[in-house]
Amino acid sequence: MRKLAFGGSFNPIHHGHLICARALAESAGFDRVVLIPSAQPPHKPATADLAAAEHRLAMCCLAAAVQPQLFEVDDLELSRPGHSYTIDTVRLLKQRGWPAVHWLLGADMLRQLPTWYQPEALLREVDFVVIARPGWSLDWSTLPPVYRALEKNVHAAPAIDISATEIRRRVAAGLSIEFLTPAPVIDYIKTHGLYRLSIV
């Protein structure tokens, strides 16, 4: 069984995440997508609108339950202290028996990849599968040479213009988020009063 790891803050998870991950799994031949919510994303500062890790985990579980034959959730980054470094997660997945770790990476993160923790080790130990929005482009010559090989791993994403930032803004403004994220996630946000005091 081929698994695709999909890490992120998922603040909150939404249909854009799910549709793009499903499309990539279908086009690249993955059987399962493993959602891995981060405890504290190293590249994102702790802000007032970052929901607590347990809430983001719960929302991922609710979203995954909508299509359990494809999606599952792993809380491994929440069970260890400190920043959620991808290289640590990858090594733990391999210790658990993953023969190889394929990691979904948004194309917008490519420029930041050289600044990630132990980036060269990541390139050695991870098979990055890059997903790019329609119209996205990158001058690959601006990246260090070792990263340019990732160009062959780029897959086109469906044209889904949904963002977690917009969902948080709408919640804070008292606007509907119907159709942006699965109904169980909407109910969870309402029940727990998430993002009401967001600073966006």
| pLDDT tens, residue by residue, 65-91 | 999 999 999 999 998 887 889 999 999
- CA gap 6, 163 in Å, rounded: 16
Residues 6+ apart with CB under 8 A from 174: none
Give φ, ψ of 7 to 5 degrees.
-95, 160
Average pLDDT of the residues of the chain:
91
| pLDDT tens, residue by residue, 150-175 | 999 999 989 888 999 999 999 999 99
Produce one character per residue of 98-120: b if its CB has 16 or more CB atoms within 10 Å, e if not. Answer: eeebbbbbbbeebeebeebeebe
Can you list the domains of the chain with their CATH numbers? 3-159 (3.40.50.620)
Global confidence as pTM: 0.91
